[in-house]
Every structure is written in structure tokens, then in C-alpha cells.
Structure 1
Amino acid sequence: MLSAIGLNAVQETAYQELVAHGAADADTLASRFALPVRDVLLALQGLEQQGLVSRCGSRPGDWVCAPPAVALGPLLSQHRHELECAELAAAKLAAEYRPEADTPVVHDLLEVVTGASAVSQRFSQLQLGAEREVCFLILPEPLAVAAEENSAETLAMSRGVNYRVVIGREMLSGQHLQPAELADSLGRGMEVRVADEVPTKLVIADGSLGMLPLDARPAEPAALVVRSSGLLVSLAALFESVWRHALPLSLSGGDKAVMAQQPGPDSVDLQILSLLLAGLTDVSVAKELDLGARTVQRRIKRLMDVSGATSRLHLGWYASEYGWLTRRGS
């Protein structure tokens, strides 16, 4: 973790060892780490230059650590200041950036990335730059980055970025996605749902930057990066639509991924739908079925949540399109 303030692996290990066990000489530390004495000595000298360790006056050859609260504070402040300067520089560059006068504005909103290396880099940048949420639609074949190679996902989630992922049902077979990988993702807090059909690969970060594949030769993968625009709004709506109709996955007691069953309408729900479509009000439906008006409204709200409907008209269309009303009396 101390690499963030400029320490390499040997320096960090040496400092932690001195904090935990007190004074030691380079030979002793080298023996503990199974490293050449020269490497350990160089690490200690580097720590000395940063004020983290010093030579022990009473025991020549030994090194002691400076108190972490005292020694690390200035380094943290220095790197925090450097990061703030870098952020200001990035903001200034972003403000100064303008497309060429004869370049259409659309070029500032869309970017075509070509080649496995470039696609992989932009894919990682999109996730590492996210602050709140990353949304995925996933198909079996990776474009340039396999699921197990997506280290940016782990880093982003460690910062508290939420992941919502929809996978196709065929990926549960184990051929494309191993159960252990799926259980690990769920265990780290990722929200995963399963859809009968996923229309395209897609990733969207914070609703402001998206990426989806372009048709290209297998040897030359390509992707389209979409910034805030009407197109990105449409892609976000596509994700939300697929998400609403997908079934959630969760971990069972044995740390196995299990798919929840979305509760459909029962016989009372179907009666309510039929009466509503016949033109009755909520109050009339409640009297007809000897139910409370709030019970009717609560059931309608649940059916809208299940179907993803945004209005009662939409709910009526969904009930007809997906055969809910034909179940009545069956």
C-alpha cells in the first residue's frame, strides 16, 4: 500500500519489518526476506533519504524506523499536493483542448479505438475513472480482455465503485464463465443478473462514458467510445431495460451462485389486471374483489416493478405481450 507514496516493494517490506520487530541489521533483514544483502541495504538507504529509518547510534550496523505517524505524514502531504497539482493540470488541459476548427463536433463525442492493446487500455481507463457505478452487458466472447484479466474491475470495486452486470443465460453453463469466478464476483459485492438474451456487449461508467464493440476482423478488434450525448442516453436506457427484465443472482449458503425466481402474477393479480383493462377504477376493482383499495394499488405497483412498466398503459401492454392474461382460468 505504501507504493502510493513512492516506496518500492523491498522498501515497504523492510519498513514494516522494522515497525513490527524493532531494530535489525541488513544481514538479518536479508535473511528474513530471502533477498541479497545489497538489495536490502539499498532499500534501507532509500528509506533513510526519505526520513523513514535511521542508523542506530547505540548498535552500529542496526537500523531503526521512525515513528509512522511522524514519518509518513509529510510524505502523504507531499504526494497529496502533487496529486492536486496533477488534477489542476489535467483540468487545465481539458479546458484548453478543442477540436480543429474544421473537425465536426461529433468527433468530440465519438471515438473509434482499434487494436487489441488500444481497446484493452481504453476499457481499463473507463473503469479506473469511474467514481460511482459501472454497468455491463456481457456476451460470451471477449473483445480484447477476458473476464479473469480485468484487473481494473478489482481496483475500482476496492474504491467503492458499484458494478451492475447482466450476463446471458448461456454463460451459466460453465463453458464461458466458471462458477467460482461468478461466486467470487458476487462475494465482492457485484450485482449480477441473468437475461434470456443480451443484445450487445456494453459498458457504461457513471452514465457519462460508454464503450461497445464494432464489427471488425477477428485479428483487429475495434470499439466505439461514446461520451455524454443522446446516443449514450439511449445506450443507458438499453442497459436499464435489459437489467429490469433480468433475474438476479445471489450466493447460496454454500457460496454457490443461484438465480432468483421472479414472482409473476397470481390469480388475484390477473383478476385485477382484467378488471383494470375493462375500465374499472381502483376503488371499483377493490369492491368487486372484496379487497382494500391500498391492497389493489400495492399489487399493481408490484406488477409494474416485475414487468419494468413505467405506466399502467405500459403494464397493460406488457401483460398482453407476455401472455399474462391468457393464464386466467388455466
Structure 2
Amino acid sequence: MSLELLGLGASSRVVYTLMLERPGLDLAGLQAALGIDEAELRAALDDLADLALVRWARPGAESDPPLLTDPDVALTAMITRRQVALAEQQAQVEQSRAAITELLALRSSAPAGSTAPDSERLLGVSAVRDRITDLARECQREIWSFSPGGPQSAANMSRSRPLNEETLDRGVRMRTVYLDSVRNDEASIEHARWLTERGAEVRTVPTLPLRMLVVDRELALVPLDENDSSAGALLVSGRGIVAALSALFVSVWKGAHPLGQRRARQPERPSEQEQQALRGWVQGDTDHLVARRLGVSERTVRRISDNLAERLGARSRFELAARAMEAGWLCADDLV
């Protein structure tokens, strides 16, 4: 597991690694071995103490040699805190998504002639593509996007490359979140690598709340129909709703995993994709809906189910859910 993922800065990681390798070093020994000044060393030790990875033998006795907390205990506690924080973040994302979806539904269902002045309805795929081209060329600072649907089609990837290259060459910061399922598609991975080599940032998550494009935090493009992106899109410029959509992106981005980063996971625990599938089933979702949210085939969803059932010794979906609750893989909040 990368210690950086647990919130350790560069100096703290170096200090902690040395203390693991050479326990018992006092402050002078640590400073001499690392070749850093006392202020930097103490700042690193303060960070490690805040994370309960080190402690002082006596309260307030920072001149004493720092002591290592049992690494297994400390790192397990850190992972647990991280999991709790991610669960809280996921709950906030879902709450934001529900509120935003309600607002967008009110706007997108309005008659064609009554669209609010801070929104623009785009009907059909061609109109949406043309508007995206205009937005990318007019963008000054940054473009953020959610790209659900799993592996990207060859046609879409090929069509988007010239515009993406032109946008990135202008110094626009581009951030994209895909579904984890793209990691199993070589063509999608190659396209994502192509983007990152040109300066874009790409991350993945198990599920995404909706398809979305945010431009300069001033405009946002979302589908008219969440279940049918070909119907068209709604371009909104109202400060309140764009701020909400921007906050939703930031929240998802913080919990997403950079492409190419090795995914840290405890072998006995379900993966994030498996966890999302379990949550969907206990909430009454069909395999078709779970597959669409994860961006995978229904066959893959059934394979996930079979694998989980085998690991938990379950013979039905009902029993699988019950055993997942017993194992701590699901909690009461997952049932809502």
C-alpha cells in the first residue's frame, strides 16, 4: 500500500520509513541520518503523531526519542478512518446528486419555449457535439468531466482526439473521471494514457452519478435524460447550480483513483466494484441496472455475484446479502 494514499507527506514518509528500519534512533540520530534540519524533522514527527503512527514516551516530552506505535495497529486504524471518511463522502455525493437531479429535472422538463435564461436545451447528439466543440474552444482555464458508460467506443475516442489535443495545447487543465471498468479495456486505457501524456488528469471510480461537463466552473452540460444521452443535453450557467455541480465533481474526484495507480485493497474485503454491486442488489436493483451503473456487461455482474456467493458460502442473492451484512461488507445505510 502506498503511504501517500493514507495522507503522509514526503518528509513524513521518509522519517517513518527510517524509524521502521532503525527503531530507537533519537532526534539527533534521525536528523543526522536524514540530513534534514530540526524544524523539518519536528514537523514530520508532528504529522506522524497526528496520525497516531508515533508517540512520545511522556506527554509534552518532545525532547525524548519518539516511539513507534505498533505498525499493524496504527495502519489498520488509519485504513478504518479512511474508509469511514470515504463512506461519509459517498453519502454527501449521493445527497448532492439527488438535489441536483431534482433541479435539472425541473429545467429539462420545461416546454421548449419556456427555458430559463440561464439554461440552453440542446436536442439530439449532433447539437450536443457541436456545442461541446464550441465550449472546448472557448474554455480559458479548466474542463472537468464525468464519463460513465464503461469502455469508450473507438469512434468517440477517435473523434475527440483532435479537439482534446487542441484544448490541452492551449494550457487548459483537463480532468476526467471514468468508471473503473475502463481499466479492463485496453483501447480505453490507451486513450486515457494518450490524454495523460499530454497533460490531462484521469481517474476512475466504481460508479458515477451522471454524465457531465463543467467548463471554467461557469457552465455545465448535463443530459436531458439520464438514461438516454442521445436525447440531448441541458447547458446551464446559473451560478448556484453550476457551483453545486462543481462541488459534486470535486467530491467524486477526491475519492477517485488515478489511472495507473495500483489499487490498494485488503484481500478479504470486496473490491469497490463488488461493494457497489452489493449495494445495488440490496436496494432492489436488477442486474441490468447494476451493469449499467458499473459500465460492465450483465455477464460480468453475474460473475461478480457468483464470486461473492462462493466467498461467503451463499446459495441465493438473499443469503448473499445477509452474509454480506454479517461479514461487515454492508451496513444499515446501504439498505436505504
More helix by share: 2
Q: Same fold (TM over 0.5)?
A: no
Q: TM-score range by the shorter chain?
A: 0.3 to 0.5
Greater RCO (Cα-Cα under 8 Å, separation 6 or more) = 2
- Whose radius of gyration is greater, 1 or 2? 1
TM-score w.r.t. structure 2 length?
0.41
TM-score w.r.t. structure 1 length?
0.42
